[in-house]
């Protein structure tokens, strides 16, 4: 995983793209805890380039926060990643990706398809993530300890 950016507003995407163009066919992994602004960031990206794990959970079970749907949502996510990388299509992965093992699997997946991988790390302060988390509907809230 390479280049780290601090980025919290959708408009930042245009600035980042202007400063450091992202090569076509890159797997862009967003990394950050709940409430750090990953989904907000993707609003500056063409929607077909975004694979959002919450959206896949919602497609599986009707509830984006349904953790029981995660395994199936991840399977769908992996199919979509491979489908796009095989065609050298850029994709943004909107999931937390904070666990080393999860990131290692992404590195492996990008390598297998010989595609570049870029990490965008959201360094939003903990107190802001906690506040945003507490303001969410109950089914979209994570236990505060998960954020610490």
Which residues lie near Mg ion (CB under 5 A)?
38-39
Nearest to 5 by CA among 142, 35, 148, 18: 18
Q: Kindly report the number of other CB atoms within 10 A of residue 30's CB atom.
A: 25
Of 36 and 77, the one with the shorter C-beta distance to ligand ATP is 36
* Least distance (Å) between residue 103 CB and Mg ion: 17
Task: Decide: is 97 part of the binding site for ligand ATP (CB under 6 A).
Answer: no
Q: Are strands 27-31 and 91-94 parallel, antiparallel or unpaired?
A: parallel
Of 42 and 90, the one with the shorter C-beta distance to Mg ion is 42
Of 43 and 48, the one with the shorter C-beta distance to Mg ion is 43
* Least distance (Å) between residue 147 CB and Mg ion: 13
Instruction: Name every residue whose Cβ is closer than 8 Å to that of residue 68 and which is 6 or more positions away in sequence.
Output: 61
């Amino acid at each position: 995983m390479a280049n780290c950016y601090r980025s919290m507003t959708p408009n930042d995407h245009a600035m980042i793209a202007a400063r450091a163009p992202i090569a076509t066919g890159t797997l862009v992994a967003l990394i950050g805890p709940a409430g750090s602004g990953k989904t907000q960031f993707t609003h500056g990206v063409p929607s077909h380039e975004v694979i959002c794990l919450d959206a896949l959970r919602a497609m599986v079970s009707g509830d984006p926060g349904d953790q029981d749907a995660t395994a199936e949502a991840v399977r769908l996510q992996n199919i979509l990643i491979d489908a796009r990388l095989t065609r050298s299509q850029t994709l943004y992965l909107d999931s937390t990706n904070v666990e080393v093992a999860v990131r290692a699997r992404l590195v492996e997946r990008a390598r297998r398809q010989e595609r570049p991988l870029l990490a965008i790390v959201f360094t939003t302060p903990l107190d802001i993530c906690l506040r945003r988390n507490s303001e969410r509907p109950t089914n979209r809230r994570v236990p505060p300890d998960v954020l610490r």
